[in-house]
Structure 1
Amino acid sequence: MSKKDLNKAKTAAEETVKEAAETAAEVVSDAKEEAAEAAEKAVKAAAPKVKGGAKKFKYGSMSAVIVALVLAIVVIVNLMASMLAKRYPIKVDFTPDKRYELSDESIEVLKNINSDVEVTVAMEKELFANMATYYHNYYAQYGINADVPYDMIPNLLEKYSMYAEQGKGSVKVKYVNLDKDLDVVTKYKQYYNGDIEDGSIIVYSNEKVKVIPQADVMNMIQADQASLQSGTPNFVFAGESLITSAIRNVTSGSSIKAGFIATMNGQPVYNQNEYGTTVDSFKTSLLEKNGYDCTDIDITTDELKAEDYDLIVLPAPSVDFTENLIEKLSDFLYNDGKYGKNLIYMPSVNTTNLTNIDAFLADWNLQVENKYIIDDKNAIGNTAYIMLNIDDAEAVGTLPSQTLPIIAPVSREITILSKNNENLVKPILSSYDNSFISDMMTQKVDDKNRGKHTVVAMSTKEHAEQYDVYRSSVLVMGSALMADSEFLTQTNTYNNANALLGLINNMTGKEAAAVIPEKSLQQSYIATTQTQAKVIRIIVQWVIPALVAIAGIIVLLRRKNK
C-alpha cells in the first residue's frame, strides 16, 4: 500500500472514532436525563411522607427539650433555694406568734460567734413531739384545749444552725441517748463539774460547757396559772433565752465571776422568806443567763481573792457587818491599789440602823435613807411600785425598747453625799417629778413636796498609772425587788432586765448584750407542727418536681405516638 493510501486510511479511522465518541456522549447524556427524571419522580412521590416525618421529628424533639428545660429549672431552683436557705435563712413563719423563728437578739448573737459550737440534746428528737401530745391530752382531761408545742424546740435548734452559718462559726445539733452513747458524758465531764442527765441540753465550745438541766428544758414552756383558771390557757416560751445565753456563755471570752454574800458565819444574811426568790432570780435569770459565773459565799469564812471574784453582791442584809468584814469588802475593792473590782448593794425594805454598812457606803458618798418613794401617777397597781426615769443613758446603755417601763417596787431613797474626795458619784435611775416620800419609821407621808428622787446611784474610785486608769465601783439599788422574777422575766412588759443588765455590764466591763425576750404563745390550732412542716418540705422539694417530670414524660410519649 502506497503512502497516499495509508494517509487516507488513517483519516477514515479518525473520523470513525470521532463519530463513535459523539454517539457514546449522546447515549450518556440521554441516560443522565432519564436518571434525573426518575430521581425527580421518586422525590416527588416520597415528598409527602418525608415532610410528615420531619414535622413529627420536629415537634417531638421540641417537647423533649421543653421537658428537659423544665426539669432542669425545677432542680436548679430547689438546689439554689436550699443553699440560700442555709446561707441566708428567710423568715417564713405563718404562725401568729412566730414560734418557729428566732428573735433578732439571738440571730445577732449567732452571726457574731467565731467558734464552732456543739449542742447535744440528751434525748431522742421524736420525744419532743411526744411531749407536746402528752400535755395536750393532759389538759384535755380537764376540758382545756391547750396547744403545748414542745415540738417547736427541735425546729428552733435547726434555725440556730442555719443562722450561725452566716458568721464565722457554726452550731451543730445532735440528739443522743445517754444509755447508749456513754462517751458523751465522758467527753464533757472533763470541762463540767455538775451532773449531765437524760433530757438535758449540753452546749460546748472552746473547752467550756454549759448544761441546761432537764427541769429547765421541761420549763421552757410554762403556763400562766391565772389563764388556766379561765379555761383559756396562755403559754410562754422561755427556751430561746436559755439556749442563746448558753451559746453566748461558751463562745465569749473570760466570764465575770460574781460572789453573792448569802451567809455570815453560816447564818443567812438576808431574810430567805422575803428575798430568797428575788436573790435567786437576780442571780440565775439575769446574771448567770448572761455570762456571769455566780457562786454563793460566806462573808466570814470565805476569802475574797482578786482572782476568784470580779463582783460582789450584798442583797438586802438584815444584820449589820462587823468592822472586820467591812474592811474585808474595802480591801477587795481597793485590790492593792489595782482596783478593777465592783460591788452591788440592795437594802432591805424593813431593816435600818446598819451602822457599819452605812459608814462603808458613806465612804463612797452614798446614803440609803429610811424613806420610801411613792408616786400616785407614775406607778403600776400600787403607788409604791413606781416607774423610773433614766438619768445616765450612757451607764445604762441602749435598750431594745424605749417605751417599756422600769419598775422599782417599794424603793428606798438614795442620797448622794457631798464630800471633799475624788469619788465620782452619779444618779443612774430616779423617780418622776410627781413622786413624794413616806417615812419608814413614822409612816408619815409628805405628799406636799413632790419631785424626783434617786433610786439607783453609782460611786467610782479610780487610780491612774501613766496612760492606764483603774477603777472600782459601788452600785446601790434602792429597791431589791427590781430584780424580782416578775420584772426580770417579763421582758415584753418591763425594761428592768435590760436596764439592769446594761448597767452591770458597763460597770464590770463586760461586752454589751441584750436580754433575750420570752415569747408569748398564742393558741393557734391550725399552726403546723414539726412533722407537718417536714411533710410540706418533702412535697415542695421532691413530690412536686417528680410530678412535673412524670407529666413531661407522658406528654413526650403521647406526641411520639401521634
Structure 2
Amino acid sequence: MEKKNNSSKGIKAFLKSRKARHGSLAVVLVIAAVALVVVLNIVVGLLVERFPNLKMDLTSNSAYALSDDAEDFMSHLDKDVNMYILSPENDFVGNGEYFVQAKNLLEKMEAASNGKFTVSYIDTTSNPSFTNKYKNIDWSSKDTMAVMECGDRYQGVKTDDCFTYDEQYLSAGYYQVNGTTIEQATVTAAMKVTTENQVVVDFITGNQESDYTALKSLISNNAYDVREVSLLTDDLDEDAQFAIIYAPKVDLDAKAVEKLEKWLDNDGKYGRNLIYIPTPENTDTPNAEALIEEWGMKLTDGFVYETSEDHLLSSSDMFVFITDYNEYYTDGLKNKDIPVMVYQTRGIEITDENTSHALLNASDRAGIFPTDADDSFKPEDGITGKKIAVAAESVKSNSDAESRLIIYGSDRMFSSDFMTMNSLNNADFFMSVLNTVSDKSDESVTITGKKLDNTELGVTDVNTTGAMSIIFIGVIPIAILITGIIVWLRRRHM
C-alpha cells in the first residue's frame, strides 16, 4: 500500500514539475500543428474539387492550364452539353498520367462553362444498354472514348482525337501516349452538336493533290461539314457553299472547269465560293489559270521574294516572309498584330479592279523571281516598287447573293507547322475568311496539344512567381520565427 502511495505521489510531482509542463506544451503544439495540416488539407481538397480552377499549374508549358480558346468557347456556351466518358472514372485515370491530365482539363472546362458543360463517367460494363440510343456511332471500332450530346444531336469522340502517340512505338504496333489533345477534341465535338446547320465544304480530288490533312482538320474542327468530291466522276454537292482545290500537281481538265463554272454560277443565284491554292511543284496549269483569268486575276510565273528587313524572318531565305493585311476579313481575327507568313508563294496580279482585290500583300520592296532566271539575276532586278498580292479574291454578285474565287499563292502557308504556331495568324485568317463569307460569327479555334515532358516547375508567370516568393521567403519563415519566439517567451517565464 505504501509503494502505491509513493508511486501516485511521484506521478503527481512529475506532472507539476517544470519539465512536464514544458513537455506537455510541446506535445500540444505538435498535435495542434498536425491537426491544422490535416484540416487544411481536407478543406483545400474540397475546395479544389468544387472549384477546379483553384489548382495551380506550375509546369513551364502550362500542361494543366486551360487554353484561352477552350476557356473562351466554354464560357460562351448557350446550350446544355453533356460529355459521357465511356469508362469508370478510376479506370480512366488509371490509364496513365495523360489521362489524369485530360481529367483535370475537362474539370476546368466544366468550371468555365458556368454549368452548361457537364462530364459524366459511364461504366458500360454494368450498363451495356447505355450506347443503344446512339445508333449513328460505329461501335464496332471500339475506339469511341466518349459521346458528346446536346438535345437530339450527338457526336462520338475517339481516343485518337484526344491523345497523340509516339511514332516509334506506333511503327512497332504499340500505342504509347505522348501528348493530349483533349481540349481541341472536346471543343470540336461540342461545336458540332451545338451547330444547327453546318456549312458544307467540298475538297476536290483527282488531280494528285498535296496532303491537305492539316487544312481539312482545321475546317472540320470549326464545325464545318467537310467532304471529298472527284470531278472526274462526280459533281460538286448541291448544298456545298465552298469548294477547295488544294495544290494540284495535275491541271484541271476542260470538263472539270466546266463543272466548276456551272457550280459557281448556280443558275445565276450565286452563293458559292471556290478556293484555289497552287503548288510550287507545278506551274503548268493552263486550264486552271484560264479560269482564274476569267475572274479578273492572274498568277505570276515566278515566286515572290521579299527584301524588306521588317518582313523577313531570315536574311538567308527571301522566299519566307510575313505579309501585310489588306482591309478584308480582319475583323474576325483575335489579334490583328499577328501576321500571316508565306513560303514559296506565287504572286497574284489583279487584272480587273472592279471585281478583284488583294487580301494579303508582300511589301513594296518585294519582287518576282522568274522561273527561267539564271545566275545573273539579282534581287533588285525584280523589284517593282509596288506591293505584290499573295492572296486575293474576285466577287461576282446579284442583288441577293455573291460567288467568290479566292486565291492563296502557296500551299506551304497551310502546313501543320505554320498553322499551329501561336506567333502566326495563318489558321485564324483562313477561318476568318470562311466564317465571314458563310455568316458565321464564331472565331476560329486552334488549340495545340500538351505534353508532360518537363520535370522542372518552370514558373515563368510574374504573378505566380511573386506569390510563391512571398509565401516561401516571407510568410513561412516569419510564421516559424513568431512560433519560436512565443515558445521561448512562455518557457522563460515558467
Q: Which residue of 1 aligns with 2:234?
A: 302
Which secondary structure state, in structure 2, belongs to the residue aligned with residue 304 of structure 1? coil
SS, match of residue 395 in structure 2: strand
The structure carrying a bigger helix percent of its residues is 1
Match of 1:383 in 2: 318
Compare 351-360 and 289-298 and name the one that shifted more. Answer: 351-360
1:83 to partner: Cα distance: 12
Q: Which residue of 2 aligns with 1:248?
A: 191
- Cα deviation for residue 342 of structure 1 reads 0.8
Tell me, in whole angstroms, the C-alpha distance in 2 between the residues paired with 1:99 and 1:83.
Answer: 17
1:385-427 deviation line (CA, Å, top 9, x unaligned): 22111112x41334333444421111011111127xx63x111
Name the counterpart of 2:96. Answer: 132
Q: Which residue of 2 aligns with 1:217?
A: 162
Aligned to 1:518: 448
Please tell me whether the aligned partners of residues 202 and 210 of structure 1 are also in contact (alpha carbons under 8 angstroms). Answer: yes
Question: Structure 1 residues 404, 395: CA separation in 2 closer, same or farther (over 3 Å shift)?
Answer: closer
The letter of the residue matching 1:462 is: S
Deviation at 1:455, TM superposition (A): 0.6
Q: Which residue of 1 aligns with 2:131?
A: 185
Instruction: Name the structure 1 match of 2:149.
Output: 204
| Residue 92 of structure 1: how far off its partner (Å) | 4.6
- Residue in structure 2 matched with residue 22 of structure 1 by the alignment: none
Q: 1:248 to 1:494 in 2, by over 3 A?
A: same
Equivalent in the alignment of 1:509: 439
Say which of 93, 98, 101 aligns to 2:56. 93
Structure 1: distance between partners of 2:257 and 2:139: 33
Write the mapping of 1:25-174 to structure 2, written as runs, cut at 5 A.
90=53, 92-96=55-59, 97-132=61-96, 149-165=98-114, 170-174=116-120
The amino acid of 2:312's aligned partner reads A
For residues 341-380 of structure 1, what are the structure 2 equivalents within 5 Å?
341-376=272-307, 377=309, 378-380=311-313
1:252-267 correspondence runs (5 A) = 252-263=195-206
Residue 281 in 1 paired to residue 281 in 2? Answer: no
Report the AA paired with residue 239 of structure 1: I
The CA deviation at 1:357 is 1.4
Q: CA deviation at 1:248?
A: 1.5
Asked if structure 2 preserves the Cα contact closer than 8 Å seen for 1:375 and 1:436, the reply is yes
Which amino acid counterpart does residue 100 of structure 1 have in structure 2?
Answer: Y
Q: How many residues align?
A: 400
Q: Is the 8 A contact 1:300 1:325 kept in 2?
A: yes
Mind listing any 5+ residue stretches in structure 2 that lack a counterpart?
A: 1-38, 170-177, 459-494
Aligned to 2:182: 239
Q: Give yes or no for the alignment of 1:439 onto 2:370.
A: yes
Would you say 1:340 and 2:303 are equivalent positions? no
Secondary structure of the structure 1 residue equivalent to 2:184: helix
CA shift at 1:82, angstroms?
6.2
1:212 Cα offset (Å): 2.9
Give the structure 1 partner of residue 480 of structure 2: none
Distance (whole Å) between structure 1 residues aligned to residue 53 and residue 227 of structure 2? 41
Cα separation, partners in 2 of 1:500 and 1:184, compared to 1, 3 Å: same
Q: When the two structures are superposed, what TM-score results if normalisation uses the length of structure 2?
A: 0.72
Distance in 1, matches of 2:439 and 2:374, equals: 40
Matched, 1:462 2:420: no
| 1:90–1:395 Cα change, 3 Å | same
**CA distance 1:283–1:198, change in 2 (3 Å):** closer
84 and 122 in structure 1: CA distance in 2 versus 1, 3 angstrom threshold: closer
- The 1:84–1:481 alpha-carbon spacing in structure 2 relative to 1, beyond 3 Å, is same
Any idea what SS the aligned residue of 1:335 has? helix
Identity percentage over the alignment?
Answer: 22
Aligned to 1:176: 122
* Residue in structure 1 matched with residue 343 of structure 2 by the alignment: 409
Within 5 A, what are the aligned runs for 1:538-553? none
CA contact (8 A) 1:387 1:432 kept: no
Distance 1:351 1:172, change over 3 A: same
CA distance 1:172–1:355, shift in 2 (3 Å)? same
Q: CA deviation at 1:193?
A: 5.9
State the Cα deviation string for residues 166-222 of structure 1 (Å, max 9, x = none).
6xxx222122344554334322223x4686624623222243333332222231x87
Pair 224,483 (structure 1): closer, same or farther in 2 beyond 3 Å: farther
Question: Cα gap change, 1:120/1:200 in structure 2, threshold over 3 Å: closer, same or farther?
Answer: same
Could you say which residue in structure 2 is the equivalent of 1:497?
427
Alpha-carbon RMSD across the aligned residues, in angstroms, is 3.2
Q: Shift of the alpha carbon at 1:318?
A: 2.0
TM-score, length basis structure 1: 0.64
Q: For 1:194 and 1:417, how far apart are their aligned partners in 2?
A: 54
Residues 329/402 of structure 1: CA separation in 2 closer, same or farther (3 Å cut): same
In structure 1, distance between residues paired with 2:313 and 2:146: 38
- Structure 1 position 453 matched with structure 2 position 396: no
Q: Secondary structure at the match of 1:328?
A: helix
The 1-side partners of 2:139 and 2:272 are apart by 28
- Asked if 1:486 corresponds to 2:378, the answer is no
Contact 1:342 1:508 in 2 (8 A): no
Alpha-carbon contact 1:103-1:516 (below 8 Å) kept: no
Q: How much has 1:343 moved relative to structure 2? A: 0.9
Per-residue CA distance 1:224-244 (angstroms, 9 max, x = gap): 99xxxxxxxxx7653312211
Structure 1 unaligned spans of 5+ = 1-73, 134-148, 226-234, 264-268, 528-562
Q: C-alpha separation between the residues in 1 aligned to 2:270 and 2:303?
A: 33
